[in-house]
Structure 1
Amino acid sequence: MPTVDSEGRIRIPEEIRDSLDLTPGTEVTIRHVDDTVVVETGPPPERILDRMETLFDEISADPEPTPRGELDAQSRSHLDAIQSGAASGKTATDDQ
């Protein structure tokens, strides 16, 4: 049974690491739920890159912007802010 070392680390058994494809550098989220510690892995980088590629392909396939009237209120607000910033020549880093 794994134990917590003096620095608070727990070694995940090899068979679990292998089954979850946990390799050095894999990001995990650790949560406390009731009396249990839950360790969750994020999606593998390959899946994130595949999803990004799909999104880029979808954007490229439909280069026409969505008409302003078809946008929800939050999207219109973001669009207004972007257009206002572009008109003033200000960039997002100017306020930082």
Structure 2
Amino acid sequence: MTGAFIPLFGGLPGGPEVLLILLVAVLLFGANKIPKLARSTGQAMGEFKKGRQEIEEELQEYEDDGERTVDAEPADPADPADPADPDDEPAK
């Protein structure tokens, strides 16, 4: 390797970039709408997390049901049919 340094958060904007993004957001939406926008974004994130948690719980229940099925004792084997007597001759 040539000793190239790959930063951990290389693709994320730094301090000056974040300030520029905030300035553009204020210009586009106006200072009065920013709190409403942030509130609705927070509510959407909360709903997303709630939905994700419900799906994870359903998957966990499904996995638990599968484990119970596998852990269950096997049923008694059916009685095998009486084997044909080798001395018996087939019906003609």
TM (norm. structure 1) is 0.30
The structure that is helix-richer by fraction is 2
Specify the structure having the higher radius of gyration (Cα).
Answer: 2
Name the TM-score, length of structure 2 as normaliser.
Answer: 0.31
